[in-house]
Amino acid sequence: MLAQATITIDLEAIEHNARAVVSALGQRDMDVVGVTKVTCGDPYVARAMLAGGVGALAESRLENLAGLRAAGIEAPLWLLRATTPGLAEKTVALADVSLESDVDAVRALNAAAAQAGVRHSIVVMVDIGDLREGLMPDAVPEFLREVVDLDHIDVVGVGASLTCYGAIVPDARNLGVLTEVARAAEHYLGRPLWISAGSSTSIAPVLAGSLPQGAHDLRIGEAIVLGVDPATREPIAGLDLRDDAITLSVPVIECAIKPSKPLGTSAQDAFGGVPRFEDRGMRRRALCAIGRQDAAPDDLTPLDPRVQVLGASSDHLVLDVDEMGEPPHSGDALEFRPSYSGTLRLFTSPYVLRRYLGSGGVPLG
């Protein structure tokens, strides 16, 4: 019997995926920064990535970096989302490296680092087409002129993000622009720089040899945690990745035969939508204890192909289970594979328990 919604994290699967990615990219002289943000900086996931060989960990939220530090994680930590001047002190205290594109923020980091008596490293982010964060390529020289003489800031690299917002995939053209910007920055600074060439969507073209030479690292999250290419949500050719690291189990709270189409005058639902229903007659449906506050219904794929997701309200998931030979009872668990978006929201939700499978399938918590 299952009491409440629970995600099971198979740490062996995550370690396996990390090792596969690290090995493949290592053959091309590239490092891997493991990104734990989809799991909200879960320290068990972080340790599994480190056991698989990643050299550093990355997060978008300072709260999650603080959690990793509190859990005793000693690996280098990157802040993936550019800081604000008001968070410079916390950024310097928690992150070894941050990705930056604003001069005022970097000046604030410099002041915070000076006060703490440390140096802080930054990767200069360049927008090469996805239109999320980053300087336009022609703005990089002026940015470097503004920050090069800051005495507690080390410009260690140039980087870019692709696919996350504009859905632009990495290719020879856009990463070629990043490489050209990096080479010009190296010439200006008089020393070599890292080229941080994106995330999980860069793996496939790197392995295919279709990207420019010279990238030093990729920031990898989804390929390690979920085992797929974010650009396609399909397996990555040439990599043996597991896609079963995250499983959602949800308890049934009601199961009954009801009409398949609501009765009465239709209006907006709780989220402002106007749902449409197909009249399939009387069907057996199950109501489960999870809802849109935890994950969107479209982000949950039932492991039993006889189960169909119909929709959800804030706290209830509605399923068609008419094809199941034996209908589920209250407290029975139904299992789902969450998408990236679903995984993100499930780990963020305080209402979803976490269960860990470690070496040999031993639960860790």
Check if the beta carbon of residue 229 is closer than 8 Å to that of residue 236.
yes
Q: Is the pLDDT of residue 179 over 80?
A: yes
pLDDT in tens, 291-306: 999 999 999 999 999 9
Which is nearest to 49 in space by CA: 202, 245, 207, 236? 245
| pTM for the whole structure | 0.93
pLDDT grade for 359, boundaries at 50, 70 and 90: low
Tens-place pLDDT, residues 112-169: 999 999 999 999 999 999 889 999 999 999 999 999 999 999 999 999 999 988 899 9
Return all residues near 315 (Cβ < 8 A) that are at least 6 apart: 289, 290, 291, 293
Question: At residue 108, does pLDDT exceed 60?
Answer: yes
Domain 246-359 has CATH 2.40.37: yes
With a cut of 70, say whether residue 3 has pLDDT above it: yes
Q: Are 7 and 247 in contact (CB under 8 A)?
A: yes
- Choosing among 3.40.50.10320, 3.20.20.80, 3.20.20.10, 3.40.50.720, the CATH entry for 11-225 is 3.20.20.10
User: What are the boundaries of each domain within the chain?
Assistant: 11-225, 246-359
What is the average pLDDT across 230-251? 95
In the chain, beta strands by DSSP E: 6-10, 31-35, 56-59, 77-79, 97-100, 120-125, 153-159, 194-196, 217-220, 246-259, 282-288, 300-302, 308-312, 317-320, 333-338, 353-357
Mean pLDDT of 96-119: 98
Least confidently predicted of 12-21, 60-69, 183-192, 258-267: 258-267
Q: Are 139 and 147 in contact (CB under 8 A)?
A: no
Kindly name the residue from 37, 90, 258, 261 that is annotated as catalytic.
37
| Cβ(251)–Cβ(2) below 8 Å | yes
Higher pLDDT, 265 or 129: 129
- The pLDDT tens digits of the residues spanning 183-239 come to 999 999 999 999 999 999 999 999 999 888 889 999 999 999 999 999 999 999 999
Report CA torsion sign: 337, 339, 343, 346: negative
* Pairing mode of beta strands 246-259, 6-10: antiparallel
Under DSSP, the state recorded for 193 is -
Task: Please say if 258 is a catalytic residue.
Answer: no
